[in-house]
Chains A and B, each alone.
Chain A
Amino acid sequence: MSRSVADHERPAWVARHILPHEAALRAWLRGAFPGCDTDDLVQESYCRIASVTDLAAIDDPRRYLFQTARNLALSDVRRAKIVRIEAVGSTADLEDALADDRSPERITAGRALLARVEALMDRLPERARRIVWLRRIEGLSQREIAAKLGVTETVVENDVSRSLRIVMAGLSEDDRAALRPNGGRRGRA
């Protein structure tokens, strides 16, 4: 924990410690702050986390992510003066959502994310699918992939961009489908 996170390792830190909890965060935000734009809140939360000087000092990244998003949602709510802050979105509700951390769900969050990403990759259009899997399995660079498939580097780059976009969107949608059975959490607050 005392070891600091070098700048070039920051995205990897986010991939390991934040990304696995995004789906649960989105599900919670939708329940707790129905008037807020979840996509915006998530983007701004990532921005806050990106600007943390010492990531290694965050000893509970999941809690930090939830608290950051909640603070942003509360300032949205105050600014809009439309949505009243009720039991949901309260500190107690946040603690309640974080209490689920002790469930096996959290332990497997990283593995669940990986499985979800791979499932989304499998559903990509054929050429894009081959390209991202060549990258993943064989570790080839975009240039090497272009040579291997006999296409231009621009084609590879565009497919990488499109694939990434599709996986990003898929992960944004996840909580609506996959986590709905868990959505009853807010009723407990």
Chain B
Amino acid sequence: MGVAVDGREPAAEIEAAAARWIAARDAAPGDPVLAAAIERWADGDTRRRGALIRAEAIWLTMAGANASTEAPPATRASRRGLLAAGLAAVAVLGGVGTWIGNERAATYATEIGQRRRVALADGSTMILNTASASSVAMTPDRRRIDLSAGEAWFAVAHDRARPFIVSAGDIRVEAVGTAFAVRRTGDDAEVVVTEGRVRVWSEANPARFSTLDAGQRAAVSRATGVAAPERVGAAVADALAWRTGEVVLDGMTLGDAAAEFNRYSTRQLAVEASLADRRIVGRFRAGDIDGFARAAAIVAGGRVEQAEGKIRITR
């Protein structure tokens, strides 16, 4: 097959590698380090995962239905596994910050109400929303972002050889060249894709991943993985209006809208329970919690009260 003209890995090479992995796994079934090495390889190109499952399906057909499929539990890492772990060791880059695993990382954070645009070393762009924090580690074989709090949008510079992986707790979102946002809420997260395609999974169940395309949004739970993606289409722009400092409410309840504005403000807004179900439509400055409260009170037929650094919408 030789070298692909367009720089893509030739299909035959992928097939040969997939066959080697399946043979190796058949030799050491259940070896977790080998399994991790296979995962890393498969993560490098969408076609690899396809070749891998095809190779395994063919091997199952070759080995026959009577062949044992139960893997004995591995008691210790194999020699091959240790080698793979060694290969996974990464180069240490300059810069300040914390560590993600073994990797030196640069950290970025925003205060409540702040927004920050960061040009990353690989040409990608990250915009951090209010009260967010992330660390960025660039290595020769991967780009890792750890979103420890809040929300961020990424426009990923295309680099097939270096997957761009965002972690939000145990949740992972992987892209090659695309644009997407991740909002972390505790152990869970929400992912919105604006361009291209990403792969999403939870480390609690890495084999159960989903692919999200542009215009799709999905809630991801640490425990149960990715919920059925929802097509948001044009509403993607609304969901990501925060990038220009705006909040777009399209029929959201007043209670949810107040929670949304509270993300951007140290002065917290509360809505009386009897008004919390009213729905509101509009476009607001993210930092203008007073303007929102006034507008919301008018729509809901209530009034605004201010006391002790708090804002209340009451009847």
Residues of A within 8 A of B (CB): 7-8, 10-12, 14-15, 18-19, 22, 37, 39-40, 42-51, 53, 113-114, 117, 121, 132, 135-137, 139, 141-143, 153, 156-158, 160-165, 167-169, 171-172
Contacts and interface: CB of A to CB of B under 8 A. Distances in A.
B80 to A, nearest CB: 10
Contacts of B15: 39, 43, 165, 168-169, 172
Given A43-B11, A44-B46, 4 more contacts: A39-B15, A42-B54, A50-B52, A53-B208
Nearest to A117: B61
A164 B27 CA distance: 13
Given A50-B50, A136-B63, A139-B64, A19 B14 contact: no
B207 A48 contact: no
List of 3 A-B pairs having minimum Cβ-Cβ separation, nearest first? A47-B50, A46-B50, A161-B23
A133 B20 CA distance: 18
Contacts of A164: 19, 22-23, 55, 58-59, 62
Contacts, number: 142
- Give the interface SS of chain B, mostly helix, strand, loop or mixed: helix
A47 B49 CA distance: 5
Interface residues of B, number: 47
A186 B226 CA distance: 40
Given A53-B208, A160-B27, A37 B61 contact: no
Nearest to A169: B15
24 contacts: A7-B205, A7-B207, A11-B56, A15-B56, A15-B58, A22-B54, A39-B11, A40-B47, A43-B50, A43-B51, A44-B50, A47-B51, A51-B49, A51-B209, A51-B210, A53-B210, A135-B67, A139-B64, A156-B27, A160-B27, A161-B24, A168-B19, A168-B55, A168-B58
B237 interface: no
B34 to A, nearest CB: 12
A168 B291 CA distance: 65
Interface in B35-68: 46-64, 66-68
A19 B57 contact: yes
B26 interface: yes
Contacts of A153: 27
B5 to A, nearest CB: 11
B50 A114 contact: no
Nearest to B10: A39
B266 interface: no
Quick one: which of A7, A40, A49 has the most chain B CB within 10 A?
A40
B19 A10 contact: no
A160 B12 contact: no
A95 B8 CA distance: 31
